[in-house]
Amino acid sequence: MNRPALLTSVLLAAMLAAGCGSAAGQATAPPRPATPPSLATSLATATGTWAVAVMGGSAASHNNFWQLFARPAGTSTWRLATPPGVASNGGLVLTGLRGGSVLAGFRPSQDLAYSPLAITKNNGRTWSPALLDAGLADVPGALAADPASGRLLALLTDGTAEMSGPGGTAWTRLTTRHALATSRAGTRCEPGSLNAAAFSPSGQPMLAAGCGRPGTAGIFSRTGRAWQFTGPALPAAYAHQAITVLRLATTGGTTTALLAAGTGSAAHLLAGWSSDSGAHWKLSPPLPLNGATLTSASSGPGSSLAIILSHRQAAAIISAAGSWRQLPVLPPGTATLAPRPSGGWNALAVHGTQLTIWQAAPGAQSWTREQVIKVPVQFGSSS
């Protein structure tokens, strides 16, 4: 073959390879570990119930705004209570403070890299600013408060955990995912990302993670300057399963954890309760996911938990003594569940800029519409 023909052959082969390469199939991805649910969640405090949901319905993230809704104790009406002054496109994270106050943290978005905080003492009627000079992690359990001391705990986007002094001032680094992984406690778990932060009933900082070591539930408590592994001991049946702690919260003297075990179609959820900073745990029966994915998890009174799965499925568990109960098929667009004062649950469903609140009493077979809130979303205000 002469030189021009050789050159053209090489060019041709390259072109054919480029053109035909596009038809090649994609390799099968390995099963992914469980990930924490979205920021859509609810929180019950002494002074009311709070719920977070994203609204706008836009494909562009800067036109979706996270909203905070509040239902003051003693009332049955929800209202918009989003703290003013900051764009909420990145998400909102909630935690309860002492005396029924609530702290909301804005996640970073666009060019804002740190997290403004807002505190309300009057059920969201007015807010006062506070500051976390770092970005909150994209998990609903990224903020926690110790009601007794007033200290705050925050998980950050870079895998760091920071703790403040009383009143949310003087933030200092508590640990990092890497430091935790290399600690004596961490070697038992080989933690991946940090998924939730909480204070134990006695005021010890606690962190939750997914473990690289099978059969281990990654919950850690800080005693003095050292971390202790305080995850529940799981039955032998879980010895070879990937375990991820998805939520961790303390209410009324009890720490509640939500765990995912296994992957793919064999995955299921477990709830765990501890009243002694993780020394002892009670575990719920498993809830098989049957291929569904967890989209939202909310805590209710008495350490109850309600979860939303894909395909409009939902379940709730009241306490360690009970078992998971399926809730009626959710209304379309349900973002999160919130406990009702008289028992049962509210389903908060989002359609663009409209929030519809549905209610189901304990044992109900269906949801009934309770309230509609139209939210004045300011499209384009973040662009």
Partner 1 sequence: MPGMNSGINVNDPTVVAAFKTALVHQGIIALLIFALLGFAWITVRAWLPAARAAEGAKGSTSAAAAAEPAWRRLLRIGFGLIWILDGILQAQPKMAIGLPSQVIQPTAASSPHWVQQVVNWAGTTWSYHPMQAGASAVWIQVGIGIWLLAASRGPLSRLAGLVSVGWGFVVWAFGESFGGIFAPGLTWLFGAPGAVLIYMVAGGLIALPERAWRSPRLGRAVLAGLGLFLVGMAVLQAWPGRGFWQGTSHGQPGTLAGMTSAMAQTPQPGFLAGWVNAFTVFDEAHGFGINLFVVVALGLIGAAFLTGRRQVVRPAVIVFAVLCLADWVLIEDFGFLGGLGTDPNSMLPFALLAVGGYLALTPEPAAATEPATTEPATTVAAAAGWRERVRPAALRQSVGTASIQTVAAVGALGLIILGAAPMAAAQASPNADPILAEAIAGSTAPLNFAAKPFQLTDQHGRTVSLASLHGKVVLLTFLDPVCTSDCPLIAQEFRAAGQLLGASDRRVELVAVVANPVYHQVAYTQAFDRQERLTQTPNWLYLTGSVPQLQQVWKDYGIAAQILPAGSMIGHPDIAYVIDQAGKVRTELNTDPGPGTTATKSSFAVLLAGAALNALRSS
Which residue is associated with the tokens 């609530």? 102
- 274 counts as binding partner 1 under rule CB under 8 A: no
119 to 72, 123, 167, 251: CA distances (angstroms): 16, 10, 10, 19
Per-residue contact track with partner 1, 21 to 40, x per CB under 8 A?
A: xxx-----------------
If one asks whether residue 66 binds partner 1 (CB under 8 A), the answer comes out as yes
Asked whether position 131 contacts partner 1 by CB under 8 A, the answer is yes
User: Which one, 110 or 290, has the nearer CB to partner 1?
Assistant: 110
Report the residue number, 111 or 366, with the smaller CB distance to partner 1. Answer: 111
Give residues with Cβ within 8 angstroms of 225, minimum separation 6. none
Q: Considering the rule CB under 8 A, would residue 170 count as an interface residue with partner 1?
A: no
Residue 122 found at the interface with partner 1 (CB under 8 A): no
Number of neighbours of residue 195 by Cβ within 10 angstroms: 28
Give yes or no for a contact between 255 and 242, defined as CB atoms under 8 angstroms apart: no
Joined together, the tokens standing for residue 136 give 């909150």
d(CA 357, CA 338): 10
Stretch that binds partner 1, among 11-19, 243-251, 273-281, 292-300 (CB under 8 A): 11-19
Q: Is 167 in the site for partner 1 (CB under 8 A)?
A: no
Give CA–CA dist 60/43, Å, rounded: 28
Work out whether 75 is an interface residue with partner 1 (CB under 8 A): no
Q: What are 167's two structure tokens?
A: 């009143």
CB of 14 to partner 1, least distance (A): 7
20 binds partner 1 (CB under 8 A): yes
Q: Choose among 300, 304, 295, 299: nearest CA to 350.
A: 295
In this complex, which beta carbon is closest to partner 1, that of residue 61 or of residue 241? 61
Q: With respect to partner 1, which residue has the nearer C-beta, 18 or 321?
A: 18
Burial degree of 379 (CB within 10 A; 0-12, 13-18, 19+): middle
Stretch that binds partner 1, among 17-25, 221-229, 243-251, 283-291 (CB under 8 A): 17-25
What's the CA gap between 314 and 324, in Å, rounded?
Answer: 10
Report the site for partner 1 in 323-382 (rule: CB under 8 A). 375-378, 381-382
Instruction: Note whether 16 binds partner 1 by CB under 8 A.
Output: yes
Pattern 79-118, partner 1, x by CB under 8 A:
-x-x-xxxxxxx-x-------------x--xxxxxx-x--
The amino acid at residue 316 is: A
Of 2-10, 208-216, 251-259, 324-332, which segment contacts partner 1 by CB under 8 A?
A: 2-10
Q: What is the DSSP string of 145-184?
A: E-TTT--EEEEBTTSEEEE--GGG-S-EEEEEHHHHHHST
8 binds partner 1 (CB under 8 A): yes
Interface positions with partner 1 (CB under 8 A) = 2, 4-5, 7-9, 11-12, 14-16, 18-23, 55, 62, 65-67, 80, 82, 84-90, 92, 106, 109-114, 116, 127, 129, 131, 133, 375-378, 381-383
